[in-house]
Amino acid sequence: MIDLFIFFAAAIILFLAMAISILRAILGPTIADRVISVDASTTISLSAFILLAVFYKQVILIDVAIVYAMLSFGSTLYFAHYLGEKHD
Amino acid sequence: MIELLIYAMLFIGITFHILGALGLHRFSDVYMRLHASTLCTTFGTIFIALSAITYAIMFSSIQLAAHSAFAVVFVMIAGATGSHAIARAAYRSGIKPIIALDDALSKVEK
């Protein structure tokens, strides 16, 4: 029998990694650094939500994480369009 | 025996996530940071979702396995697309790679 607490501990470690990757959004020199940091922290929080859904036995947490990742993907594409166009 | 498989995939996923976050913090260029964060977080999400799918199939919860599989397929598509768009936009906005010996793209693009 597997212990379910290992999934909760793994989610806590993932939130720690998310805090490290948020640090780049605060002190990154360019806009592209901040966009990359937000994208990476969203992907890390999606896998943390998968682990929390296994721990609490709630499947709806994965749906919340999927919608969150879709919104982050749209904002990433919008920032890329904003950065890449020529401002003449 | 299958518990050891779940623990091993969980450990591999967490290790890749922490390596991705540390690479995002420690590298010195936009393109190196983009490489580290995108590659490591995509691979870590694949392994963590595989561990969750294995646990869900072991306890016959097909709904949890299907939703995790959809999440990992979406991350595999969106991570690659988003990172390519950000790299192209960063190059077009004037950020040069700092330790490149020969910038071959500057001869092509007008």
So what's the ipTM on this one? 0.89
> Domain residues for A22?
5-84
Q: Which two tokens stand for residue B76?
A: 């595999």
From A21, A43, A79, residue closest to B75, measured CB to CB: A43
pLDDT per position as a tens digit, A58-84: 899 999 999 999 999 999 999 998 888
CB count within 10 Å of CB B89 equals 22
How far A13 CA sits from the closest chain B CA (Å)?
A: 8
Total-model pTM: 0.89
Interface contact B17-A33, CB threshold 8 A: no
Chain A residue numbers touching B3 (CB-CB < 8 A): 2
pLDDT per position as a tens digit, B71-87: 999 999 999 999 999 99
- Domain count for chain A, please give it: 1
Length of chain A (residues): 88
